A = this chain, B = another copy of it.
Amino acid sequence: MRQSRLFTKIEKNPPKDEESLNALLLERGGFIQRLMSGVYSYLPLGLLILKKIEQIIREEMNAVGGQEILMPALHPMDNYIKTGRENISDLFHTQLGNGSKFVLGQSHEEVVVPLVQRFAHSYKDLPVAVYQIQTKFRNELRAKSGLFRGREFSMKDMYSFHLTMEDFEKYYETVKKAYIKIFERTCIGDKTYFTYAAGGTFSKFSHEFQMLTPAGEDTIYVCDKCKVAVNDEIKNEHPKCPECGGALGEPKKSIEVGNIFPLKTKFSDAFGMRVKNEEGKDVPVFMGCYGIGLSRLMGAVAEVSNDENGFIWPKSVAPFAVHLVYLRSDDKNVKAEADKLYEKLTAEGVEVLYDDREEKSAGEKFAESDLVGIPLRMVISEKTLKSDSVELKKRGKKEAELVKISEIKKYVQ
């Protein structure tokens, strides 16, 4: 994309009222824009990151047999009366002109159970795992921390249905591994811990994936040996590592970037969902649910992928792979060569943001390039063209090197 055409601009001054680093930097760089507390628009650069994250999650959910669907945000209140969740405090409510009551989904158990129920009647129809990537709403009075705690946010939620608790438990382990892969692919794996947490109203435990960051809202205690953690909320009950029984480390701040949850038969029972087993007997259906907030994950990656000059996006989620920076010159050939290189790289499938602007100085361009944080900066100027070269510098590194244009390919794959 040509930067001269990008309608967003780098903002020199951080926005007011933003307290969290992720939102401050994301707003300054033109990735997102706040409409109101906890509600953001994704601008072109930010949407590209969100879509990279979406695709990583989609691939890993497909790999564990998840079938992608898309459920609505408007839910009939009746379904919540069935599950006894009609009074959850952070639901948004709305109604039709005739008074029919709806809620805006912050989770989809009330929709997905009747949906799958229509198709699953026998043991032959199970297991089933369906997921969606969809917009959720949460009536948060004190939305804060940028993309960490929103009133409207993008979420992947998967639900699985099983004939037996054993089958559920096996699948739960499979999804756990898929989650670990997702956090590795988004390059927060080394900071992210499988964490034992409280189970809410209908299950003794749930499991979270918590990423260490001082900006987090949660507190966890890590077992360095097992690479797992315990959430503060169950620390009294579980003062030792649940896996090796050893001592846990000091309390550390963290942000939940995913959770997996045994639902057992709570929701399937509420809708009378039963299937015939191999003996022809009606039996209950065991469920699990598996969530990852895409916008929150983007905030988490942003929070830990930066230095004093701006972002250092991991390649897997960066909006572009290469930031081609043209330095203005009176020699029109320089711009022509830069254009040619941009067209060539783009035609080869390399994702390039091309700073083709004439009005900005080299200093301004370098500062903005650092803030935007694309992994590889490629400078083309009168000087570099004297040796038919560009200057390559990895974001976050000090060293730059001159590379012949004919040899660029090795560096951009």
Contacts from A to B (Cβ < 8 Å): 5-9, 30, 33, 35-36, 39-44, 47, 50, 65, 67-76, 89-90, 92-94, 96-98, 102, 104, 111, 115-116, 118-120, 125, 128, 130, 135, 137, 139, 141, 151-152
Taking CB atoms, residues of chain B closer than 8 Å to A118 are: 33
User: Complex formed: what's the CA distance from A130 to B30 in Å?
Assistant: 14
Taking CB atoms, residues of chain B closer than 8 Å to A120 are: 7
Taking CB atoms, residues of chain B closer than 8 Å to A97 are: 89-90, 139, 141
Given contacts A94-B93, A94-B104, A116-B7, is CB(A137)–CB(B69) below 8 Å?
Answer: no
Q: How far is the CB of A50 from chain B (nearest CB, A)?
A: 7
Question: Quick one: which of A74, A90, A135 has the most chain B CB within 10 A?
Answer: A74
Number of copies: 2
Interface residue from B65, B70, B96, B125 paired with A47 (Cβ < 8 Å): B70
Tell me what chain A mostly uses at the interface: helix, strand, loop, or mixed. Answer: mixed
Q: How far is the CB of A55 from chain B (nearest CB, A)?
A: 12
Report yes or no: B69 in contact with A41, Cβ–Cβ below 8 A: yes
Taking CB atoms, residues of chain B closer than 8 Å to A72 are: 35, 39-41, 152
Report yes or no: A74 in contact with B141, Cβ–Cβ below 8 A: no
Report yes or no: B135 in contact with A35, Cβ–Cβ below 8 A: no
Report yes or no: A35 in contact with B76, Cβ–Cβ below 8 A: yes
Closest to A98 in B: B141
Q: How far is the CB of A319 from chain B (nearest CB, A)?
A: 12
Report yes or no: B67 in contact with A42, Cβ–Cβ below 8 A: no
User: Complex formed: what's the CA distance from A362 to B120 in Å?
Assistant: 23
User: Complex formed: what's the CA distance from A42 to B111 in Å?
Assistant: 12
Q: List 7 A-B contacts (CB under 8 A).
A: A7-B119, A7-B120, A9-B119, A35-B71, A35-B72, A41-B69, A94-B94
Report yes or no: A42 in contact with B65, Cβ–Cβ below 8 A: no
Closest to A78 in B: B36
Taking CB atoms, residues of chain B closer than 8 Å to A7 are: 67, 116, 119-120, 125, 128, 130
Taking CB atoms, residues of chain B closer than 8 Å to A89 are: 97
Taking CB atoms, residues of chain B closer than 8 Å to A141 are: 96-98
User: Complex formed: what's the CA distance from A152 to B135 in Å?
Assistant: 12
Interface residue from B39, B47, B74, B135 paired with A68 (Cβ < 8 Å): B47
Question: Quick one: which of A35, A42, A128 has the most chain B CB within 10 A?
Answer: A35
Question: Quick one: which of A36, A42, A125 has the most chain B CB within 10 A?
Answer: A36
Q: How far is the CB of A1 from chain B (nearest CB, A)?
A: 9
